[in-house]
Amino acid sequence: MSRWWSSSMSVGEANKKEGLSRPLLWAWAAFLPLGFLALAFGIAYAVYRADAVQIDGSPWRLLAAVAWLPYTMLAHVVVCYMSLSLRLAPAAAREALIRAATAGTGLLMIPGWPVVVYGRAPAFIAFGCALAVALAGLLALWVRLDRTYRAVDYYLPS
């Protein structure tokens, strides 16, 4: 599968080649999370109003329905941080992060629905632990990327 950017292209070069300006990247970083929030509130409202799912004293079922939101938001922050601050990071790393975050969001949404529908507390606890591990892994990746590429990028002119 051929890419329009080479494997040795940096994030800054890829942004320039795509024609992405810094104001556009900042707008993307600021306004896309609002779309994520709107989607999460819509899902929570649909789950709350659905007749098939009874919320009988278990408000944590709604939390399971939108548990993908923190992971997705954090992944978006990491990608935007790479685009704005880590210009020397490989563009392939940003592309891989986007693909992994998309897959991770799906992997958090799919097991969340049985927890929402059946509402078993042990399943919710296991699901919460999986979410915590996913968030910790994403944070560790962010720290690793920052430590690897920020030291060099710090001395470049804006």
What's the pLDDT tens digit per position in 13-32? 888 898 888 899 999 999 99
At residue 1, the pLDDT reads 38
At residue 66, the pLDDT reads 85
Mean pLDDT for all residues in the chain: 82
Look at residue 156 and tell me whether its pLDDT is greater than 60: no
Bigger pLDDT: 151 vs 68? 68
Backbone conformation region of residue 72, classed left if phi is above 0, alpha if psi is from -120 to 50, else beta: alpha
Between vectors from CA 43 to CA 142 and to CA 49, what angle results, nearest 5°? Answer: 155
Look at residue 118 and tell me whether its pLDDT is greater than 70: yes
